[in-house]
Amino acid sequence: MRLDFTILRSAIATAIVFWGTSIGIAGRQQSDTPPMSDTYFKNVQILKGIPVDQFMGTMGFFSASTGFNCTDCHVEESGGDWSKYAEDNNLKRTTRRMMLMVNSINQMNFGRQAVTCYTCHRGGSRPATLPSVDLLYGTPPPIEPGAYTAQARGQPSADQIFDRYLRALGGVERLNAVQGFTGKGTYMGYDDADKSAMEMYAKAPGQRTVVAHAASGDLTWAFDGNQGWLAAPLTDRPLPVTPITGQELDGLKLEVQLLFPAGVKQALREWRVGIPTEIDEREVQVVQGTTANGGTVTLCFDKETGLLTRLVRFADSPVGPIVTRVDYSDYRDVSGVKMPFKWVVSWLNGRSTFQLASVQANAAIDASRFARPAAPPAPRR
């Protein structure tokens, strides 16, 4: 069945985090302690003891693997009532059995997560059993440059690629001179009909807040240098302020640090350079590193310009890697350094486009801009 992003948008924020499965809200939490799946939602039977953001990401993995949207898997009435997501149906019961089956296969044969939902489903509701003759003799689909990469022979070192990247941006001295900036522009979710006003605040070495004034209410992505949150209206998300955790938080931290990239080489560990590939018919150099919590981040640099064109990061989940991709473009000069004015964030069941129109470097920014966002107001009845 076709993945219907119009339905999906009514159930999630078009943001960096993802969706939920056995949902029925059990309580509200206001502290910065990450809420857990089985304490915030009802009728969670297998995916217990994981943070809400990872739980939602797991739902995104189900969606990307099977091509189903939220109401395909849950009861039809769930589109307008969060409590309905807790109700059981045959598809949810089948999903639980499939998770147990896949876990058993991995434990008995691999000792690690080698088989996932996507291994068999590949975006379809039913696993394919017949080989595709067209695929056999046709052009194979592109491989996402983001899977685990080992150091390739004959490639430059990661240090060499990063040094070229920093020179392409304007050089370390000029980069260090920009200690913060504010920006204004537009935001558009995957299925939004119109663009919304957007503003961004950033401060070195790694703080950022983005506020999009969407039709359903403000969406806020905030990172204070250590902690991150997503705030969205209850019409879009069952949890109004979601703390970002674990490997997902590590990946977000690197995204923010890339706004002040002079220290990018120190941001991750175990840097390795893979075999070059192509993105949009342009050759890119692939550099991959490991986050503090074991997540994986891949950076793709245009071989001709040296500029960063893509970031792919993935975090573990109980059923498979939660992938987030950020594509950078429209580099412009700001106070002597190049900065991408456009970035597109794509994840397993949505996409958001951010476009800056103006940027002011070294603007004064109050520290409160990077604090935990307030919960959006409840929707009017």
Q: How confident is the model at residue 236 (pLDDT cuts 50, 70, 90)?
A: low
**Cα angle 150, 154, 155; round to 5:** 65
| Percent of the chain with pLDDT strictly greater than 70 | 86
Are 31 and 170 contained in the same domain?
no
340-370 tens-digit pLDDT: 999 999 988 789 999 999 999 999 999 999 9
Q: How confident is the model at residue 123 (pLDDT cuts 50, 70, 90)?
A: confident
Are 167 and 102 contained in the same domain?
no
52-88 tens-digit pLDDT: 888 888 888 888 888 888 777 887 766 666 677 788 8
Rounded to an integer, the average pLDDT of 142-150 is 73
Are 193 and 331 contained in the same domain?
yes
Are 210 and 344 contained in the same domain?
yes
Q: How confident is the model at residue 180 (pLDDT cuts 50, 70, 90)?
A: very high
Are 87 and 181 contained in the same domain?
no
Mean pLDDT of all residues belonging to the chain: 85
Judge whether residue 42 has pLDDT over 70.
yes
For residue 377, being part of any structural domain is answered with no
Are 206 and 266 contained in the same domain?
yes
DSSP letter for 25, please. B
202 beta partners: 181, 208
Are 114 and 180 contained in the same domain?
no
Judge whether residue 14 has pLDDT over 90.
no
Helix (H) or strand (E) holding 322: strand 322-334
Are 211 and 323 contained in the same domain?
yes
Are 182 and 286 contained in the same domain?
yes
Are 115 and 184 contained in the same domain?
no
94 beta partners: none
| Percent of the chain with pLDDT strictly greater than 90 | 50
Q: How many CB atoms lie within 10 A of CB 112?
A: 8
Q: Which residues contact 123 (CB under 8 A, 6 or more apart)?
A: 64, 65, 66, 67
Tell the residue number behind the tokens 């075999």, with chain if given. Answer: 275
One-letter amino acid of 351: R
Q: Which domain holds residue 279?
A: 158-370
- CATH of residue 182's domain is 2.50.20.10
189-221 tens-digit pLDDT: 887 778 999 999 999 999 999 999 988 889 999
Are 299 and 175 contained in the same domain?
yes
Judge whether residue 179 has pLDDT over 80.
yes
Judge whether residue 137 has pLDDT over 80.
yes
- 4, burial (CB in 10 Å: exposed 0-12, middle 13-18, buried 19+): middle
